[in-house]
Amino acid sequence: MSVSNSDINAHDTVRVELDSRSYDIHIGHGLLHEVGPKVLEFAPGGRAIIVTDDHVNTAHGDRLRVVLEANGVSHETVCVTPGEPSKGWPVFHDVVEAILASHAERGDLVIAFGGGVIGDLAGFAASVVRRGMGFIQVPTSLLAQVDSSVGGKTGINSPHGKNLIGAFHQPTHVTIDLDVLKTLPPREFRAGYAEMVKYGLIDDEGFFAWLEANHGEVFSHGNALGRAVANSCRSKARVVAADERESGARALLNLGHTFGHALEGSVAYDGERLVHGEGVAIGMALAHRFSNRLNRCSADDCKRVEHHLQAVGLPTRIQDIPGEHPSVPALMEFIQQDKKVKRGSLTFILTRGIGSAYIQNDVSPWEVATFLETELSS
Ligand SMILES: NC(=O)c1ccc[n+]([C@@H]2O[C@H](COP(=O)([O-])OP(=O)(O)OC[C@H]3O[C@@H](n4cnc5c(N)ncnc54)[C@H](O)[C@@H]3O)[C@@H](O)[C@H]2O)c1
Ligand SMILES: [Zn+2]
């Protein structure tokens, strides 16, 4: 088990090793105060553009602005409508133009202050404005803290599918203040928890077992929360350092995501019906059951995964999504559109059991479709 059992101190640091693009992730309570000094460290001119959404701005925006002002940092705020639909061309256009209108210079910093939608959107904007501005990630959702703020994948969605337009653009720093999670709606907290479970399922059965034992303390914002966030960042940093541009092992981080993205697409990214982490939870359960069908994973491990996800209130079946169920052809359309498809054959992250995920090329679309038929009729 790789989770540190010592109490998390004032803060914990995880280093993402990427040569000249290496950076630190600071994790702890009350860390918003470090954002001012960090801007001065990376943008000596002391100018920052905060990109955020209405929820985060209302809950925490003023505290961040006070911190910047206390450090003599001048700032502007670009605020977008919360939710996945903001991760598309129209809002991207507005954010880029707003950054330019603020007279941002190349040496100024963008601060991505929000969940994964803001991190992906603001990071992609930073990657193209003036051919690349630096940016700091200050993730405020659990999902963004344990996953999307680390690793430098930025981008937006297309009507053709999720995350099809984007760039690799690493942040210069990541500040994770655990205190901001207090205002996160419980449903969003659960969705982020699904991504933490993912790290256990990929290659760390000990972490999965630790989560089975400690999820109560994670959900009650006890010390286990900081440990679980730090451990998740450590897992992600390790994978990203080994394969920054996803030519190999980084694809393991997509466990549950090919199915999950198809489910999100099939409900037209309607966050009322399904948020990303819920799609991933169902996707991970499906990946285990599909692996079981292909005789790779035991039925016991499938059950153990389902039980844990259900224990924290996450969905595990397509039928758990409220409203009309997506059809198999509709799901297959999204699966084939997924960027993990190469020349007609599908690449899936399958598993030999908890903590033993692997990359399987040449999965037949027919096999997947038949599996989904069975799932939807069970
Ligand atoms: N780049 C990557 O590597 C990567 C990895 C995983 C997911 N993602 C992307 O991340 C997105 C999902 O991220 P998300 O789940 O954070 O969604 P999100 O950004 O929409 O945030 C979820 C909701 O929580 C609200 N919120 C966030 N922080 C809050 C806080 N502290 N208090 C109150 N409300 C708060 C937001 O306003 C929003 O309504 C998806 O678009 C997904 O594709 C990217
Ligand atoms: Zn994800």
What Rg value do the Cα atoms of the chain yield, rounded?
Answer: 20
**Rounded to the nearest whole angstrom, what is the distance from the C-alpha of residue 365 to the centroid of ligand 2?**
23
pTM over 0.75: yes
Task: List C-alpha distances in Å: 63 to 6, 54, 76, 258, 270.
Answer: 30, 14, 14, 38, 31
CA dist 351 and 37 (Å) reads 44
Is there a catalytic annotation at residue 339? no
Indicate which residue's Cα is closest to atom 22 of ligand 1: 115
**Rounded to the nearest whole angstrom, what is the distance from the C-alpha of residue 95 to the centroid of ligand 2?**
23
- pLDDT of amino acid 159: 83
- pLDDT of amino acid 10: 56
- pLDDT of amino acid 378: 85
- pLDDT of amino acid 341: 61
For ligand 1, pick from 56, 63, 141, 235 the residue to mutate: most ligand atoms within 8 Å of CB: 141
Is there a catalytic annotation at residue 153? yes
Is there a catalytic annotation at residue 254? yes
**Rounded to the nearest whole angstrom, what is the distance from the C-alpha of residue 119 to the centroid of ligand 1?**
8
Q: Which of 234, 236, 210, 237 is nearest to 223 (CA)?
A: 210
Q: Out of 55, 257, 289, 308, which one is annotated catalytic?
A: 257
- Residue 83 CA to its chain's centroid (Å): 14
CA dist 29 and 251 (Å) reads 31
**Rounded to the nearest whole angstrom, what is the distance from the C-alpha of residue 46 to the centroid of ligand 2?**
33
- pLDDT of amino acid 337: 78
Indicate which residue's Cα is closest to atom 42 of ligand 1: 116
Q: Which of 286, 369, 280, 269 is nearest to 329 (CA)?
A: 369
Instruction: Return the ligand number nearest the Cα of 146.
Output: 1
Residue 325 is given by DSSP the state P
- pLDDT of amino acid 2: 54
- Mean pLDDT (10-residue bins), the chain, 378 residues: 50 89 94 97 95 98 98 97 94 98 93 98 97 97 96 92 91 98 98 98 97 98 96 94 84 95 91 94 98 97 98 98 95 80 81 97 93 95
Secondary structure of residue 163 in the 3-state scheme = strand
Q: Out of 26, 153, 288, 289, which one is annotated catalytic?
A: 153
* Residue pointed to by tokens 């101190």: 9
Give the atom of ligand 1 at the shortest distance from the alpha carbon of 192.
Answer: 15
Q: What are phi and psi of 172, to 5 degrees?
A: -85, -20
Strands 47-53 and 109-114: parallel
Cβ-based neighbours of 111, under 8 Å, separated by 6 or more: 35, 39, 48, 49, 50, 51, 64, 122, 135, 136, 138
Specify burial of residue 36 (Cβ count, 10 A radius: 0-12, 13-18, 19+): buried
- pLDDT of amino acid 340: 57
